[in-house]
Structures are given as structure tokens and as C-alpha cells.
Amino acid sequence: MEPNPKRIRRSARQPGSRRRHCANGLGRSRPEFKPVKIVPEVSVIIPVYNMEQFLEDCLNSVLAQTFTDFEIVIVNDGSTDRSAAIVEQIATKDNRFVIFHQENKGLSEARNTGIKAARGNWITFVDSDDMLVPTFLQKLLDAAKQNNASIACSDKRLFWKESDIGNSETSTTKAIALSSEKALERALYQKNGPDYSAWSKLYDSQIWQSRKFTPGIYFEDMDCIPQVLLEAKKIAFVPEPLYLNRRHGTSILATAYNRQKAELLNIAERICTLVKGKDAELQRAAHSNLFSASCSILMRTPDTNEFKDFRERAWKHIKEFRQETLFNANSRTRNKAAALISFGGKALFGLALRRFG
């Protein structure tokens, strides 16, 4: 039997009256806060694995939130660098931290540990190399409550280094209320709305009572979040970049695929099954997502026996949906180009992907 994660509940002193300045360049002082309640309004779940370079900026951006009734659930997933020490040091100054240490089990299991520990009425996930705009929690909570939504989400801003962020202040924009099917449709088209990442969202905690992330897979968000969106009663989308997503060379999307990463195709196929019989536009969005995944398979896997099944299925999907992709106004330009080139045959298509993909 595997040992249970070690849990540490912080009971550190309250910060003094002096306002602490955030070290992440977001231009906000850390707000004063009242002692955490027995049941905080929000649980911020942050899985941590070997992120010593970015972790302090991430935590400071959470502590700089204008909304203060939250707990920070840290799950140290077997880090071998200074990540655990950084968390412990910052947690001595704030009693809203709940810290778990466990053997390395991967992102999904770390999030699942956080979900089990979360006490808040709402849950949000933050990757430990990302940051939040100071109004992230307040604006999403307001959007959820004003629209009677079980999920509120924001747009994101991509950055490679802190100097890319610039002024993080955003305007006050009214949230857009979306049905579950419309939200998932936008996510699958990957434009004009929510995406299917776990982060950048605030969830009614009841959503996670009987749900967890699948352990041991890549693309765990794409595997889980489409189902979560589809089952939500309503989604509120705030069209402001309140979540700051760091990009770097170790991203899964920036590397060649092994068999685990090739499971992307299985997940995209399951999404098509998930939406079968639903709204026609939602089904087209799922087809578009499967077309993209199929292109990725042919571009990022070698033409060997190990990947023969994945590559044959991918080419089959490309031929099946290329005409629909060409005439779908919501298809991305790169997908339309790929669909057009595919009519030249598999060899030409593969060459184009390797050269221009």
C-alpha cells in the first residue's frame, strides 16, 4: 500500500500592517486579509514539481489577489530541487497555506490529492510556473455568481519571461454566459472563448466530488475538461487575460511524441464519441479537434512499426474530415491549409508537415 501524502497545516502568524510588494512585476501590493475561515470561499490548488526557478513568482501572484478568502493547497509531487523549501519559507508568512508532500506520481495524481484536500466552495488550478493577474479570483467569482454559473473562466496571456507581461491591468468587461455545449464548442475550436485547460477556470467544488484526473497520461486536461464543461449547468467567460501562462521549451506540445503522447489521438477520438448526437456545430468542432490531433500525430511521430496504428488512424481521420475542415468557417487557417495539401496524397502531406508544421 502506498503511503498517504504528508499533510502540513500552517498556523503561522498573520502578516503585519505593512503591505508586502509582489516580486513578480504585476504592479500590485499584497492585500491585507482576515484570518482564514473554517470553510474558505476558494481553494487554489497548485501542484509543484521541480519549479524552483518560477515558483516564487507563482505564489506571490496568488498572494497578491484582491480577493483574499482562499486557501492555497500545495501538493509537492516529489520535487528534487528547492521547490519544497521555497514553499515552506513563503508559507511561514501566511496561514492560508496547506502543504502536502508525496512521492512523484505525476500532475494528475498531484491535482487529485489537492482536490481531496480542498475545503473551499470553489476550486481553481494553477500551474506552478504560471501567474495570476491580481483580480483573477475576484472577477471569476463575481462572474460565476452573477450568471448562476458552475464554472467561470478567463482568457489567458502567453509569456516566455516576465518582461513579456507588461501592464497586467485589465479593463472591466462583462462576462459572457455560455451553455455547456457552446463553451465546449469554443474550446474545441481553440478560439474566441474558454479552452480545455484545467487552469484559467473557477469551478463549483461540487463538480469535483465524483471526478478526478486520469493518472499516468499526457494531455490530462484534454482528457478531462471537455467532459467537465459539457456537464456544467452554465459557463461564464470573462474575455480578459487574467491567467498568465508561461511557455518554455519543455512544453509537451514542443517535443516529439512517444507512445504516451500519441494517446492524444485516442483522447480526440473519445471527444467525438462524447458529443455524438449533440448539436451539429459541436460535432463539427470535435471533428476539427480530431483533424488537428491527427496532423500532430503525423508530424510528431516517426514512420515506424511502433506508431503504425496511430499514423494509419490519423491519415484516415484526415481524409474523412478534410472537406468539412475546408468549408468550415470556424476552422483555423492552418487546418484549412493542411486539409487542402492532404488532397495531394500522404507523402506530400507528410513532407509539408515536417517542413512547415
Digit-coded pLDDT (tens) for 90-142: 999 999 999 999 999 999 999 999 999 999 999 999 999 999 999 999 999 99
What pLDDT score does 192 carry? 82
Per-residue pLDDT band for 191 (boundaries 50, 70, 90) equals confident
118 near 45, Cβ under 8 Å?
yes
Per-residue pLDDT band for 13 (boundaries 50, 70, 90) equals very low
Q: What is the mean pLDDT of residues 262-284?
A: 97
pLDDT above 50: residue 28 = no
What pLDDT score does 27 carry? 41
What pLDDT score does 132 carry? 97
Task: Return all residues near 56 (Cβ < 8 A) that are at least 6 apart.
Answer: 23, 86, 90
What pLDDT score does 16 carry? 33
pLDDT above 80: residue 287 = yes
Question: Which of the two residues, 316 and 173, has the higher pLDDT score?
Answer: 316
CA distances from 215 to 22, 150, 223, 250 (A): 34, 25, 11, 20
What pLDDT score does 173 carry? 80
What pLDDT score does 353 carry? 82
What pLDDT score does 193 carry? 85
301 near 310, Cβ under 8 Å?
yes
Side chain identity, residue 341: I
Q: What is the mean pLDDT of residues 312-325?
A: 98
Q: Give the Cα separation of 149 and 235 in Å (integer).
A: 5
pLDDT above 90: residue 350 = no
Average pLDDT, the chain: 88
273 near 282, Cβ under 8 Å?
no
pLDDT above 60: residue 62 = yes
314 near 213, Cβ under 8 Å?
no
What pLDDT score does 6 carry? 62
What pLDDT score does 21 carry? 33
pLDDT above 70: residue 12 = no
Residue 75's nearest CA partner among 1, 11, 5 is 5
